[in-house]
Amino acid sequence: MIYSGDIHTILMLDSDLLVRRIKEGTVIDHIDEGKGLQVLDALGINGKDGGLITIALNVPSGKYKKKDIIKVENKFLHDDDTSKLAVIAPKATVNIIKDYKLVEKRRVALPNEIDRIFRCSNPDCITNSPEHIESVMDVINKENLVLKCRYCGRILDVKHLKYN
């Protein structure tokens, strides 16, 4: 019977099954299409710890849309991870699995301030000097992901920023 569904149903079943079957870990769902590998990279998820990881890209989601999904065993997101995720994939949901159960489901929220993650694009900014001062950026427009460097005041578009 399970084979008779369309690809969407099957993938949801799949994702459901996999959610159920990791003992401890995190499922990041509703990642914007095309951002899955970037999230993987930004969060340092590479499978080197031996835990099971499943990444699905371009998964049908609703009638006309697609999404990416990442499921990772034995990984829980820290604040920095959540901030990165919010910036890269603002519609993502984070599902926490413990002892095979879904114990928490939450949306990511863009913080008011983003520390460390991005490098200011102003080469003369003190955060790019050899003194290794960590970047601090205020999120001045959450909808369009516009940041402002707290040190040099430069207005920054997240899409063009490099990671630290």
Which residues in this chain contact its own copies in the complex, by CB under 8 A?
A: 2-3, 7, 10, 14, 17-18, 20-21, 33-34, 36-37, 40, 46-48, 50-60, 66, 68, 73
Which residue number, 50 or 130, has a Cβ lying nearer to its own copies?
A: 50
Taking the alpha carbons at both ends of the chain, their separation in whole angstroms is: 49
Which residue number, 56 or 152, has a Cβ lying nearer to its own copies?
A: 56
Tokens read off for 116? 């460390």
Task: Indicate the burial class of 114 (C-beta count within 10 angstroms; 0-12, 13-18, 19 or more).
Answer: buried
Distance from C-alpha of 126 to C-alpha of 82, rounded to nearest angstrom: 26
Minimum distance, C-beta of residue 106 to its own copies, in the bound complex (Å): 25
Minimum distance, C-beta of residue 1 to its own copies, in the bound complex (Å): 9
Distance from C-alpha of 21 to C-alpha of 41, rounded to nearest angstrom: 24
Minimum distance, C-beta of residue 8 to its own copies, in the bound complex (Å): 10
* Exposure string over 17-36, b if 16+ CB within 10 A, otherwise e: ebbeebeebbbbbbbbeebb
Which residue number, 3 or 144, has a Cβ lying nearer to its own copies?
A: 3
Minimum distance, C-beta of residue 21 to its own copies, in the bound complex (Å): 5
Which residue number, 24 or 138, has a Cβ lying nearer to its own copies?
A: 24
